[in-house]
């Protein structure tokens, strides 16, 4: 049972409606997560602003989804695992890519280093070693990209924690649940 309830469509203010428009969602079609965030205009604006800015950053949509899957898996956020598995496919990740990202791994060395770094940052709450930072640099990630990885982690921790606390009800259909469950 959901502990923080999604906002009703009739309760959505013009300011929240405008923010949903920026995220390309009609109020009636917005997922439960966004309708929960919409109860706080400040939180909604912060989420939308960060999402918008990071989508135009150095990291590709594929890389951002890989980070999101790694963070959701570490935090045990079922809603986010399902949502990001769905959007990961739209960003050209294969089922294998999704399985690997959930394990903080990738077939491509650069992406693998990025996800190992993501895992270290989350599990160690930012207290990473010089060696861990050196590994991500050696894989070819710039300081700008490293900072964006950290920003994406922060955004995903917010969404994970909100959905875990809320017990957000899944409101979209996800085919191939065996892939999402991490089975082979």
Which pLDDT tens digit goes with each residue over 72-101?
999 999 999 999 999 999 999 999 999 999
- Same domain flag for 149 and 103: yes
- Same domain flag for 40 and 114: no
Q: Domain for residue 3, yes or no?
A: no
- pLDDT of res. 1: 74
- pLDDT of res. 173: 57
From the centroid of its chain, how far is CA 109?
21
Provide the CATH number for the domain around residue 97.
1.20.1290.10
- Same domain flag for 174 and 101: yes
Contact 149, 114 (CB under 8 A): yes
CA 126/CA 36 separation, integer angstroms: 28
User: pLDDT-based confidence at 175, cuts 50/70/90?
Assistant: very low
Residue 49 domain boundaries? 9-55
Q: Domain for residue 1, yes or no?
A: no
* Structure token digits, residue 32: 């439960």
Threshold 0.75, pTM exceeds: yes
The sign one gets for the Cα dihedral 154, 157, 161, 163 is positive
From the centroid of its chain, how far is CA 155?
7
Q: Domain for residue 119, yes or no?
A: yes
- Same domain flag for 167 and 101: yes
Q: Domain for residue 2, yes or no?
A: no
């Amino acid at each position: 049972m959901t502990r923080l309830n999604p906002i009703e469509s009739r309760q959505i203010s013009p300011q929240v409606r405008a923010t949903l428009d920026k995220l390309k969602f009609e109020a009636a079609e917005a997922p439960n997560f966004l309708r929960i965030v919409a109860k706080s205009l400040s939180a909604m604006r912060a989420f939308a602003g960060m999402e918008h800015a990071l989508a135009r950053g150095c990291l590709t949509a594929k890389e951002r989804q890989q980070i999101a899957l790694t963070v959701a898996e570490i935090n045990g956020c079922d809603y986010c695992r399902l949502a990001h598995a769905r959007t990961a496919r739209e960003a050209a990740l294969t089922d294998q890519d999704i399985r690997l990202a959930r394990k903080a791994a990738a077939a491509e060395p650069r992406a693998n280093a990025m996800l190992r770094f993501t895992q270290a940052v989350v599990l160690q709450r930012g207290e990473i070693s010089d060696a861990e930072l050196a590994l991500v640099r050696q894989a070819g990630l710039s300081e700008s990209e490293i900072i964006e990885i950290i920003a994406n982690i922060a955004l995903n921790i917010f969404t994970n924690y909100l959905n875990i606390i809320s017990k957000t009800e899944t409101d979209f259909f996800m085919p191939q649940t065996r892939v999402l469950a991490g089975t082979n």
